[in-house]
Amino acid sequence: MPAVGEKAPDFALKNQDGKTVHLSDYRGQKVLLFAFPKAGTSGCTAQACGLRDEMPAFNGVNAVVLGLSPDMPDALLKWKEQEHLPYDLLSDPDHKTLNAYGVWGEKSMYGKKYMGVIRSHWVIDEEGTIADAQIKVSPADSVARAVAFLAPES
């Protein structure tokens, strides 16, 4: 798992429209990258819509938002349209990027263990270095912490 102060792992992932997106495409801007388990679920929708609602604050500090999950692009597109999300959602079905960020791991629900996404977010600075990392964060805390870090004046 990359730590604050280290270079963020680059990636080349398909977005909801099937277009390849690279982290390096955003050099010169701050990036809020959030990893979520599954499009359309209650916690993921709360997180994604909370970030959507804070876009004016993020835009004011030259920050873009990118979502990351193992969902396929068509599922991401449907969810993006349904929730009016103004940012790209990236598909990582083989978990390569999620593994690189250290958030594909063992989870437990109702006593059963399974592999899945550990909800997290990172703020990546204009040079591609991790400036903040929030691992295993709740949806509401993710939004509040992202705003507090990126746009404390908001």
Query: In the structure encoding, which two tokens stand for residue 124, read together?
Result: 């990546």
Task: Check: CB of residue 20 under 8 Å from CB of residue 14.
Answer: yes
Contacts by residues 45-51 (CB-CB < 8 Å, ≥ 24 positions apart): 45/79, 45/83, 46/139, 46/140, 47/119, 47/139, 47/140, 47/142, 47/143, 48/79, 48/83, 48/85, 49/83, 49/85, 50/139, 50/140, 50/142, 50/143, 51/87, 51/142, 51/143, 51/146
Asked whether 61 and 33 are in contact (CB, 8 A), the reply is: no
- Helix, coil or strand: residue 153: coil
Tell me, yes or no, if 44 is annotated catalytic. Answer: yes
* Residue among 35, 44, 64, 124 flagged as catalytic: 44
Q: Token digits for 69? A: 């999950």
Catalytic residues: 44
